[in-house]
A and B are shown apart, each in its own frame.
Chain A
Amino acid sequence: MRRVIDVMGGMMDRHLTWPLLIGVVLLSSACVATVEDYESLQRDVRKLRVDVNAMKGEGFTGPEGVEGGTFRGTGMVARLEELAAESRMLQGQVEENNYRLSEIGLRLDETEIKVARLSGEPVRPGGTSRGGQAPTPSAVAPPAVPGGPTQGLPPGGTTRSGVPGQPLPPSARGPSSVQPPVASVPPQRPMRGAVPSPEKVYKDALTDYTKGNYDLAIEGFKNYLTYFPKTSLVPNAQYWLAESYYSQRKYPESIREFDKLIKIYPRSTRVPSAMLKEGYAYLELGEKSLGQGVLRELVAKFPRSREARLAQDTLEQSQ
């Protein structure tokens, strides 16, 4: 980064030498001119120097204006630079505030589980007691795990993907790397003891996703959504579940899961990305009108997002 800035600094210097060079040329030509001309030129050179110094002081970095041979608009450019820097600072503050909020959410999740354990209350599938922010479990969690959300978790047992140790349907099992499920547990048995934290289940699934172990990731995120449907990472888990299908080019499944995120968590920061990918997925399936519809909706709902710009590009190309 510092190197980049050094290089850019070098470019800036090169641009700034132009007015000085022009000044020198003008000075040399003044030798054959009148005294008035000479004094006038001196004034011009002084003015140029003042402008150049002003630009240096204002952090002017762009070649605009200088290459055009005029300094009109210099103040405006500097002001724009200033505004851009301020905008970046504000952007940074927003990012940091969002981060602090998400951290608080995570800590609340963990605390509530600890409190439940300390008070001897069974921790039932369905996650923590904090509600209100998420819809009903059945609306969020795909019914992929036998036993459904009413079945208890075995103590401590987790598969490789950090999934609470429930027997999984053959279709949902990953490659041979998934350890066999632990011995069957009587239904309705509450979860006690070494229960994997929602954060661990989520992170293991996310690591499987980044490694490209998509079947395991899908299994992990589905179980996260089933067992911890009221925790703060649910919208993210929903996004990564859809994205895992998308990465596998399983477009119908990815559309279904992106759609859940968009409809159930419309305020999630990942909604614009989900809409864009849902649109892309429809286009991949040859559903041009459906895909364009989703992309247009994205542009209308989030006109200032990066995703809207990408959607706009795609719409223009597919016209």
Chain B
Amino acid sequence: MNGLRRILPLALVVCGGLLAASASAQVDITVTRKIVHRIPIAVVGLRPTRMASRGPDLAAKTQSILVSDLEFSTTFEVLPPAFLPFEPREIRLGEEEKVLPSLNQLQVQAMLAVDLTKQGKELVLEGRVYNVSRGTFLGGKRYFGDAKALRTMVHRLADEVVFWLTGERGVASTRIAFATAERRTTELYLMDYDGHNAVLATGNRSINLSPRFSPDGKLLAYTSYRDGNPDLYLLNLETGKRKKVSAVPGLNISPAWSPGGRLLALSLSKGGGTNLYLMRPTGGGLRRLTNGLGISVSPSFSPNGRQIAFTSDRGGSPQVYMVEIEGTNLRRLTFDGGYNASPRWSPRGDKIAFISDRAGGGFQIYLMNPDGSGVQQITTSGSNEDPAWSPDGRHLVFTSNRSGTKDVYVMHADGSGQKRLTRNALNNFAPDWSP
């Protein structure tokens, strides 16, 4: 989006009443905890705004996106307008401080005042955040863009609000890559984290699988059959340029980026068996990690980049294993159920998501500690696969067949708030969440 300007200095204030802790590493939130303390926040402003006299009320749309973003963050509880002693949408920007005392009486902890105005063909979105109990202004931002960019503008404002009040980055501006199968082709798409704005990423009328965002979000690694053999490609998401980085005869599949982006792990069917290898994303530097005639796939790096969780049938059935990047200390993590697969390490480092058939009737998503202990089931409806973490480790995206077709869903890391994102009557699967 062009013309994004910061009009006020970022004022990150640590508010004792609002925050459990500041942005430092002192914050240690257990993502699987059922009871999550949410910050009560009032959203005021957003008087009706239309591009044309009979056009839709874009302020109402803004309100809807904003509330959805803030609620999904698991950080906020947005108060319903009826709860407030005034009509929140009537509050003009510049007058919002008047309502702080009445919000304080209701023990509301934060207020977001928003305004959407039309300037020629452009929209201007402005948001200001307050600590209600102290009556202090925390920060504000103004965004410019056309009506098509409204969703992006609102997502960015939501992420700023999360940052001002928690010190953590929100996920509202992130994207999700996924595969869609249609007749004989499987193409990769990108969409906003809430399922809107899906755009085609590949479009080669072939089979494209396993999209994985690079840690800087600029590249998408994936496997494609466009030249007949399942080869590994990198797609530059800024330029649209595609580069083939691994094309050994046979399988070049299931890529995973190291946290720093300096290594790619992948599976190659080379010299008998399908084994894990490490390589440089620029090509070359190929190093074998596992041996044997079995199949080892689905690598996922630990946040420190030193270990890789993966799926292997080296013990007779598919199970989750761990190996260090030197190829040392290989060990098995899962022991219950005949099929445990698709491990994905949380960016917070404390959990590994995986799928298992141990409950019977298809696959479910589970979490475990990095040593294989503390297994907990977080899905129950339908068969659920392909878990992938949001960059803040608070949410998971996954595939479920509960609606009849395979579709991409999101949920919070404790399994609550499950929401369907794709609704195109096709099979949508293999999602990955951008940084």
- Could you list which residues of chain A lie within 8 angstroms of chain B, going by C-beta atoms? 1, 3-5, 7-8, 11, 62, 84-85, 88-89, 91-93, 95-96, 99, 160, 175-177, 179, 199, 203, 206-207, 209-214, 239, 243, 247, 269-270, 272-273, 276-277, 280, 306-307, 309-310
Number of interface residues, chain B, beta carbon within 8 A:
51
Shortest CB-to-CB span from B329 to chain A, Å, is 4
Residues B313 and A209 in contact, CB atoms below 8 Å apart: no
Residues A310 and B302 in contact, CB atoms below 8 Å apart: no
Give the residue name and chain of the A residue nearest to B329 (CB).
Answer: A273
Give the residue name and chain of the B residue nearest to A11 (CB).
Answer: B250
Shortest CB-to-CB span from A4 to chain B, Å, is 6
A253 CA / B371 CA spacing, docked (Å):
24
The interface stretch among B68-76, B187-195, B231-239, B316-324 is: B316-324
A211 and B349 in contact, given A4-B251, A306-B291, A309-B291 (Cβ under 8 angstroms): yes
Contact of B327 among A84, A93, A243, A306 (CB under 8 A): A306
Q: B residues 299-358 with Cβ under 8 Å of A?
A: 302-307, 311, 313-319, 324, 326-332, 335, 341, 345, 348-350
Shortest CB-to-CB span from B178 to chain A, Å, is 15
Residues of chain B with a CB closer than 8 A to A273's CB:
324, 328-329
A10 CA / B190 CA spacing, docked (Å):
29
Shortest CB-to-CB span from B138 to chain A, Å, is 22
The interface stretch among B22-30, B94-102, B149-157 is: B22-30
Q: Is B48 an interface residue (CB 8 A)?
A: no
Q: Is B209 an interface residue (CB 8 A)?
A: yes
A220 CA / B189 CA spacing, docked (Å):
44
Q: Is B17 an interface residue (CB 8 A)?
A: no
Residues B291 and A211 in contact, CB atoms below 8 Å apart: no
Residues of chain A with a CB closer than 8 A to B295's CB:
1, 4-5
Residues B303 and A210 in contact, CB atoms below 8 Å apart: yes
Known: A199-B373, A211-B303, A211-B348. 12 other contacts (CB 8 A): A1-B297, A1-B313, A1-B341, A7-B230, A8-B269, A8-B274, A92-B314, A177-B25, A214-B304, A269-B331, A273-B324, A277-B326
Interchain Cβ contacts under 8 Å between A and B, 10 examples: A1-B313, A1-B341, A91-B315, A92-B317, A96-B315, A206-B371, A210-B304, A214-B304, A270-B329, A307-B327
Give me the 7 closest cross-chain CB pairs, A-B, nearest first.
A92-B315, A212-B304, A177-B25, A211-B349, A273-B328, A92-B316, A89-B316
Residues of chain A with a CB closer than 8 A to B269's CB:
8
Residues of chain A with a CB closer than 8 A to B41's CB:
none
A270 CA / B269 CA spacing, docked (Å):
28
Q: Is B293 an interface residue (CB 8 A)?
A: yes
Residues B24 and A177 in contact, CB atoms below 8 Å apart: yes
Residues of chain A with a CB closer than 8 A to B331's CB:
269
Q: Is B418 an interface residue (CB 8 A)?
A: no
- Could you list which residues of chain B lie within 8 angstroms of chain A, going by C-beta atoms? 24-26, 28, 209, 230, 250-251, 253, 267, 269, 272, 274, 291, 293-295, 297-298, 302-307, 311, 313-319, 324, 326-332, 335, 341, 345, 348-350, 369-371, 373
| B230, B251, B302, B329 pick with most chain A CB within 10 angstroms | B329
Residues A3 and B209 in contact, CB atoms below 8 Å apart: yes
A174 CA / B257 CA spacing, docked (Å):
28
Residues A276 and B318 in contact, CB atoms below 8 Å apart: no
Residues A4 and B328 in contact, CB atoms below 8 Å apart: no
Shortest CB-to-CB span from A274 to chain B, Å, is 9
A272 CA / B327 CA spacing, docked (Å):
11
A209 and B304 in contact, given A1-B341, A84-B293, A88-B313 (Cβ under 8 angstroms): yes
